[in-house]
Structure 1
Amino acid sequence: MTSSRTTRSALIALGAVGAAGVAAATWGIGIERYLFTLRHATARSLPAGSRPLRILHVSDAHMAPWQHRKQRWLASLAELRPDLVVNTGDNLGHEDGLEGVRAAFAPFAGTPGVFVHGSNDKFGPSPRNPFRYFMGPSARSITAPKLDTEALDSFFTDDLGWVDLDNTAATLQIAGSRVDLFGVDDAHRDWDELDALPAAIDALGARPADVPILGVTHAPYQRVLNSFTDLGADAILGGHTHGGQVCIPGFGAIVANCDIPLKQAKGLSTWSHAGRTVPLNVSAGCGHSIYAPVRFACRPEATLLTLLPRT
């Protein structure tokens, strides 16, 4: 009798675990990945005397042409009328993803913006074991299809008027005020050229004390964040992590796909190096690989980040 009760209890427990797993999968695959969320954040980091800066930070759309809900949501964000759009890469998620990217970002034409590349702006996703994602930073695929990066960049620069910050620096005039920015190509693929940035920043010319400078990266590896801090960035923006994509409620990310501390895998935090501390905003992104269509305890997002002068 005791053995029978034990077996029955074990079966009930196993059934409960199985039901919870099914419920979690149903939520993550069928519901949460469509719960697009605008996150608001504020940081006092700009030089005294500079004007406030409202930044719409978007990342990791991993766009496929059939993802119309995501396209409509991103397009609707143009109604926020941000001062600046910062796109931290991985826009494409399919060989025909540019069709969806155009639909998503066309309303931002004329809004000042900058972008850097993630690897999925150059190479498409390929099927792989999803459990390998939890074993450390993902490896590059030798079978990934090459994407039309040139057409993507042409849309951003020619149609929208945005500036490519891959391994370079630029100056923008935003509402009559100067903002300097610098960035790197995807550090996850070792395409970042940090040594090129000092000269690129110097080429912008003398910067008045009230002019802010922002650092932009796709993958927020520590070497990039340290370098950006040393180069005087007043704030740093990155993506790539998906915020963990599948998180533990109450705990957060269990993987970041790079060497950033897990507690900083998404959201606004600070980064310190060599005596300087600056705001760091890591976007959890609004997409996912078409081969891993799930979000759990990590809603797809964009961020309206307001930077204010230091007091």
Structure 2
Amino acid sequence: MNTSAKRVLGNVAAVVGAGAATGAGLAAWGHSELTKFELKQIDLPLLAPGALRGAGEFKLLHVSDLHMIPGQQTKIAWVSALDALQPDLVVNTGDNLSDERSVPDVLRALGPLLKRPGMFVFGTNDYWAPRLANPFGYLVGRKRVPSYIDLPWRDMRAAFIEHGWRDATHTRHEFQVGPVRIAAAGVDDPHHDLDDYDEIAGPPNRDSDLSLALLHTPEPRVLGRFAEDGYQLSLSGHTHGGQICLPGGRALVTNCGIDRRRVAGLHEFGPMLMHVSTGLGTSKYAPARLFCRPSATLLRIMERPE
């Protein structure tokens, strides 16, 4: 081999080596971000004047996408500590599981919060185990086919209900927490077309102070129906905020029909407000986050100005 050819091969090897080192570094960093949990807080003047009857604020804690794997002690401790916020209402928008043995750890994480008023809907990763998939399919927006390997979601649901949480799946609820009268409804996960909005169609009770729409995946076709019916605030998860993002949290994909600008946080959807959680976990087959740390959100809902 002549000197020129050796030089070219040396340059190629250097580039490949640098790329591999960069990739390994990003993977290590992305994995380290999995336990850097953040609490996001949003002030939301949504209630009519006088609705709180002097209470000051109504605290709604939104948690989603735990994707629990046995032994995630840091996550269990962090989620449990959210009870110190003393939320008036806890809303869980699904994908709690990432392993068939995870239900006890989900209940340990949510344990103190289960003693507070709560509601939930599930995602497909509550029903079926995750599966190893080509990551490039995710990046081009290809929907993954479920494994259809059952997870013990029925046991988890029974525990939630036993503690007093309301299952909003294809159900309308009306109840009061403190001075706030709540009308809420939810659907099963739209990501794999498990939703049936006709089961809950119609406007929320006009005498309610706060109307909530629950769905795991923020699919526009379902959000649109909630908005048309007059719900004030939708709560969802699923997107992981993009999970692998560019600097500044700029998502590459949303893994659903919502646009990338609204992949996480509080936004408008027509006349309705929508909150999309970045979630607290990831699939055990994709254990990394870049520029998108796991989070829960405390929505401090207050009265509108006179």
TM-score (structure 1 length as normaliser): 0.89
Q: How does 1:1-311 map to 2 (within 5 A)?
A: 14-29=16-31, 31-51=32-52, 52-141=57-146, 143-159=147-163, 161-198=164-201, 207-208=206-207, 211-250=209-248, 252-272=250-270, 276=271, 278-311=272-305
Answer whether contact 2:133 2:144 (CA < 8 A) is retained: no
Deviations 1:23-67 (A, max 9, x none): 1111002x1011111111122223333223211100000111221
Secondary structure of the 2:252 match is coil
Quote the Cα distance in structure 2 between the aligned partners of 1:10 and 1:43.
Answer: 55
Quote the Cα distance in structure 1 between the aligned partners of 2:217 and 2:142.
Answer: 11
Quote the Cα distance in structure 2 between the aligned partners of 1:229 and 1:264.
Answer: 16
Quote the Cα distance in structure 2 between the aligned partners of 1:110 and 1:173.
Answer: 16
For residue 13 of structure 1, report the CA deviation from its aligned partner: 5.0
- Structure 1: give runs of 5+ residues left out of the alignment: none
Quote the Cα distance in structure 1 between the aligned partners of 2:46 and 2:9.
Answer: 61
Answer whether contact 1:43 1:279 (CA < 8 A) is retained: no
* Percent of aligned positions that are identical: 38
Deviations 1:257-277 (A, max 9, x none): 1010011111112111xxx2x
Quote the Cα distance in structure 2 between the aligned partners of 1:126 and 1:62.
Answer: 13
- CA separation of 1:75 and 1:231: change in aligned 2, threshold 3 A: same
- Structure 2: give runs of 5+ residues left out of the alignment: none
Q: Which letter does structure 2 place at the counterpart of 1:156? A: F
For residue 136 of structure 1, report the CA deviation from its aligned partner: 1.3
Aligned residue pairs, count: 299
Quote the Cα distance in structure 2 between the aligned partners of 1:279 and 1:241.
Answer: 17
Q: CA RMSD in A?
A: 2.1
Quote the Cα distance in structure 1 between the aligned partners of 2:100 and 2:63.
Answer: 21
For residue 165 of structure 1, report the CA deviation from its aligned partner: 0.4
TM-score (structure 2 length as normaliser): 0.90
